[in-house]
């Protein structure tokens, strides 16, 4: 397996085999199946996805680090978007899904008709109702 030196328990990686690619796998450790076979164990970070085991002696398997280095600016930008912006573009939402995935999954709602994301953390029906009421009253 190429890239074994990158593996750190608890970090997320992508594994590329000769036949498929497996993204978003958290490295859990090594398992000795027998004297000749050592497996790298990964659990999925996505719901309802199975754990995966890869033989480290197979040279066509490759470890790819999920996020090499997230820039501090990107992290600040993602947090700023999540806390302040009501409608995000697809690119902005993708950055949030990569940097703050739990919050993004909980609060971003995809509008497929215009490929934007409504940020439910910021969006408020109260403001909309107040605006509608003022309009109905003629203000």
Distance (Å, whole) CA 76 – CA 106: 19
Can you give the pLDDT at residue 72? 55
Backbone angles phi, psi at 45, to 5 degrees: -90, -5
Can you give the pLDDT at residue 81? 93
Average pLDDT over residues 127-136: 84
The tokens of 98 are what?
């990569």
How is residue 35 annotated by DSSP?
Answer: S
On the 0-12 / 13-18 / 19+ scale of CB atoms within 10 A, 85 is middle
Strand ranges for the chain from DSSP E: 12-16, 21-32, 38-44, 52-55, 62-65, 87-89, 108-111, 116-119
Can you give the pLDDT at residue 73? 58
- When mean pLDDT is compared across 13-22, 27-36, 41-50, 90-99, the lowest value belongs to 41-50
Asked if pLDDT for residue 69 goes beyond 50, the answer is no
For the chain, give the number of residues.
139
Q: Per residue in 89-100, pLDDT tens?
A: 998 998 899 888
């Amino acid at each position: 397996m190429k890239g074994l030196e990158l593996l750190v328990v608890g970090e997320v990686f992508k594994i590329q085999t000769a036949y498929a690619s497996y993204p978003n796998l958290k490295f859990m450790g090594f398992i000795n199946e027998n004297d000749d076979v050592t497996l790298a164990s990964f659990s999925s970070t996505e719901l309802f996805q199975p754990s995966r085991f890869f033989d480290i002696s197979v040279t066509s398997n490759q470890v790819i680090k999920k996020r090499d280095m997230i820039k501090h600016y990107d992290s600040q930008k993602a947090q700023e978007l999540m806390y302040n912006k009501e409608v995000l573009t697809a690119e902005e939402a993708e950055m949030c899904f990569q940097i703050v995935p739990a919050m993004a999954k909980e609060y971003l709602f995809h509008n497929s008709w215009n490929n934007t994301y409504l940020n439910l953390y910021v969006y408020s029906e109260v403001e909309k109702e107040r605006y509608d009421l003022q309009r109905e009253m003629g203000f």
